[in-house]
Structure 1
Amino acid sequence: MPTTSTTTSTTDRQRTPMWTAAWTAAPQAPSTGFTPNWSQEGFSHQSVRQVVRVTAGGDRLRVRLSNAYGTSPLHLTGATVARSAQGAAVTEDSVRHLTFGGRLSASVPARAELRSDPVELAVGPLGSVAVTLHFAGTTGPATFHAQAWADTYRADGDHRADPSAAAFTGVTQSWYYLSGVEVDAGRTDGIVLFGDSITDGFGSTPGANRRWSDALAELTGRPVLNAGIGGNLVLNDSAWYGERATARFHRDVLEQPGVSTVVVLEGLNDIGFSEASEEPTYKPAPVVTAAQVVGGYRQLIRQAHSRGLRVVGATLLPLGGSDHWGAHSARVGKEINEWIRTSGEFDAVVGLDRALADPADPDRMHPAFDHGDRLHPNDKGYQVMAEALADVL
């Protein structure tokens, strides 16, 4: 996917030797397949305010917008960034208008990205910022990230510089067009967690920043990026669950500035969707073998090593009793985990299956860590995952 970047002046380059990705969300095609969202209708004469928590601090920042799944240019009337207050409110004296090539308005080409110019706004690690996009026209279906586990707000009219929350009466839990926030931290020790709904944070408390990426950032003090997509597959594309991992890896991992490590936790859906034929929201994937999933991992490892990134392999979590569980997934899951642990092809391995297993039945997740569907962890489970990973970084 082509990326459109604004020109950086000589002074900017001297003052900002290196940008660091501090937050990201993996773009997805518009879809009605998840909880109610605004991706199909898009926006018309509206402002959308999105609050995100950055995992690195700096004195300046810039944002990245994605029109990856747009079929025509996205016309942005204007945008602001500010320090978040409560809900949709922002701190009034922190509101900054974003520019793109020196202009307040911008056009993001179809299937492309656009970075804003740098803006002076000091933010600390784990601080929250609100990005407000205003569209005076009609966008059409919106590139988005379906499962944010955080509130996004919508208002009629131009409220990009409005510090109050009063006009933002619409609420959903998806992110729209916003795919990254970068700060002038100059750090090169960033970590990308690359995966499916478990990485995305399914089962964590909404609005509380309790995904395992959040816990890892708090534990390590390093920039941590969450590149999870609920339902994502290693080997197959899905209209609901995004492009396959091997296809989106370049965009969602390799194009992130300041990253040194990627953690791969994918494969449960490849082996489990064929077991989930009774669940109407699933579109079962073709039955796959351990060798096929391993082939996908090898592609990811090669891509990462080509950029000098360290690759950590995470074993698949216990899934016994879930809607992904069956004779095939049980056997293939064990084969995959054994390869991750013993092949030596990853630079390091974190044994999440053992960290979250019920000692009385290792095929099942410990009840204390289970969100309730025997597949996704709860807040405590995500904390345990982060602690196990921190030990091998």
Structure 2
Amino acid sequence: MFTTAWTASPQLPAEGFTPNWSREGFWRQSLRQAVRLSAAGDRIRVRLSNAYGTSPLRIAGATVARASAGASVEPGSVRRLTFDGAASAEIPPRGLAASDPAELALDAMESVTVTLHLDAVTGPATFHAQAFATSYRAAGDRLEDVRGEAFDASSESWYFLSAVEVDTGRRDAVALFGDSITDGFGSTPGANRRWSDALAERTGRPVLNAGIGGNLLLNDSAWYGEKGVHRLRRDVLDHPGVDTLVVLQGLNDIGFSETAEQPTYQPAPVVEVHELIDGYRQLIRQARARGLRVIGSTLLPFGGSDHWGEHAAKVSREVNEWIRGAGEWDAVLDLNRALADPGAPDRLHPAYDFGDHLHPDDKGYAVMAEALAELLQRNRLPADA
């Protein structure tokens, strides 16, 4: 049985605030992307998404290999992927393709490359804007290129690749669902210091990162993805091996209306606490219908940030009080208290602040992971943990 060991939530092609290749797409090029797996296995398969494509996506060929430095891979580790036995695949608009399993033994916390040869015009590319990791592009067919020197262009986004699965057979994966804090904004790029990485290292469990920077719980965004209540099924529930969902979302719904007027933060309606509670309840119902346990996290302190204001302060306090006391979650993770400045509880502790008073740094993400690991152990989630 396969278990998801890595994920990236698909997004609509957009400029966003990270330069990327999503609008231009690819043609007669090879795309190499390295991701770190949170579980071990002897066989591997990948999922490729054309969720926002307007035309069929042709995959002329694909390989996996153990990652080395930069775009290079470990010699002798390259494996060809097939799709229903064929060397190529065509993914329809809004479609998804899963490769056949390939024999490649990998350890947990080991990085693997996925290389795609895209010989036909892709059109705008379904992507994940903020990877905090480097992807590489080369001209022509470089599927079995080991040294990586031909990959002379780079990007800090992921394209088409939405999941990597291994045959570990585990059913105790934890899915982290949220916005830029879950996505890892503020962590050191290329160092795997998101709180999902720290949680996998701390617990030894498979961990899925289903964060999208700027994502909203209640509203779609052209730049920051479909609203949380709609994307949960695709980004978490449809992945094999997940038994626990952790929800850390709502801060952008509260804070975007407080920010300076700019296109990235649209829509920005003024949201009330009862609307967010209804959204959380939708997530809880969806997850429990699939048999998942659901952990609710309080929103982190964000006083002094561009998301802070009188209304945001009021609603965030009310939301956190509801999360702590409603009794509607299987467990509550109080990250607000774990990361707050004792002398100014509405603000992030200076030791955990990336610098914008909104996002944690590497140390802050490690504290978040430790708090969740302790909660999972204390509450025995899952029961056989």
Please state how far the C-alpha of 1:289 moved relative to its aligned partner.
0.4
Q: Does 1:134 align with 2:94?
A: no
Q: Which residue of 1 aligns with 2:59?
A: 76
Please state how far the C-alpha of 1:392 moved relative to its aligned partner.
1.0
Q: Which residue of 1 aligns with 2:287?
A: 304
Q: Which residue of 2 aligns with 1:237?
A: 220
Q: Write the mapping of 1:92-171 to structure 2, written as runs, cut at 5 A.
A: 92-171=75-154
Q: Write the mapping of 1:251-266 to structure 2, written as runs, cut at 5 A.
A: 251-266=234-249
SS in 1 for 2:215: coil
Q: Which residue of 2 aligns with 1:320?
A: 303
In 2, the alpha carbon distance for the partners of 1:61 and 1:369 equals: 36
In 2, the alpha carbon distance for the partners of 1:103 and 1:275 equals: 52
Q: Which residue of 2 aligns with 1:388?
A: 371
In 2, the alpha carbon distance for the partners of 1:64 and 1:113 equals: 7
In 1, the alpha carbon distance for the partners of 2:263 and 2:94 equals: 30
Cα deviation 1:96-138 (Å, max 9, x = unaligned): 0100011111001110111000000000101100000001111
SS in 2 for 1:298: helix
Runs of 5+ in structure 1 lacking a partner? Answer: 1-17
Aligned length: 376
Please state how far the C-alpha of 1:368 moved relative to its aligned partner.
0.5
In 2, the alpha carbon distance for the partners of 1:158 and 1:323 equals: 45
The CA RMSD measured in Å over matched residues stands at 0.7
Q: Which residue of 2 aligns with 1:36?
A: 19
Please state how far the C-alpha of 1:381 moved relative to its aligned partner.
0.3
Cα deviation 1:26-84 (Å, max 9, x = unaligned): 00010011211000000010000000000001000100000000111101100000000
In 1, the alpha carbon distance for the partners of 2:22 and 2:262 equals: 23
In 2, the alpha carbon distance for the partners of 1:369 and 1:148 equals: 21
Cα deviation 1:197-219 (Å, max 9, x = unaligned): 00000000000000000000000
Q: Is the 8 A contact 2:221 2:267 kept in 1?
A: no
Please state how far the C-alpha of 1:335 moved relative to its aligned partner.
0.3
Q: Which residue of 2 aligns with 1:8?
A: none
Stretches (4+) displaced over 6 A? none
In 2, the alpha carbon distance for the partners of 1:251 and 1:346 equals: 21
Q: Which residue of 2 aligns with 1:67?
A: 50
Q: Is the 8 A contact 1:277 1:284 kept in 2?
A: no
Q: Say which of 185, 197, 205 aligns to 2:180.
A: 197
In 2, the alpha carbon distance for the partners of 1:196 and 1:217 equals: 19
> Closer, same or farther in 2 for the Cα pair 1:105/1:377, shift >3 Å?
same
Q: Say which of 298, 318, 336 aligns to 1:353.
A: 336
Q: Is the 8 A contact 2:54 2:123 kept in 1?
A: no
Cα deviation 1:259-280 (Å, max 9, x = unaligned): 1101000000000000003456
Q: Say which of 88, 100, 103 aligns to 2:71.
A: 88
Please state how far the C-alpha of 1:164 moved relative to its aligned partner.
1.0
Q: Which residue of 1 aligns with 2:352?
A: 369
State the one-letter code of the partner of 1:128.
S
SS in 1 for 2:114: strand
Please state how far the C-alpha of 1:388 moved relative to its aligned partner.
0.7
State the one-letter code of the partner of 1:86.
A
In 2, the alpha carbon distance for the partners of 1:281 and 1:348 equals: 34
Cα deviation 1:153-196 (Å, max 9, x = unaligned): 00011101100120001011000000000000000000000000
State the one-letter code of the partner of 1:257.
P
Q: Scaled by the length of structure 1, what TM-score is found?
A: 0.95
Q: Which residue of 1 aligns with 2:198?
A: 215
Q: Which residue of 1 aligns with 2:382?
A: none
Q: Is the 8 A contact 2:219 2:267 kept in 1?
A: no
In 2, the alpha carbon distance for the partners of 1:328 and 1:279 equals: 19
Q: Does 1:183 align with 2:170?
A: no
Q: Is the 8 A contact 2:223 2:264 kept in 1?
A: no
SS in 1 for 2:277: helix
In 1, the alpha carbon distance for the partners of 2:321 and 2:61 equals: 51
SS in 2 for 1:92: coil
In 2, the alpha carbon distance for the partners of 1:217 and 1:335 equals: 31
Q: Which residue of 1 aligns with 2:381?
A: none
Q: Is the 8 A contact 1:217 1:223 kept in 2?
A: yes
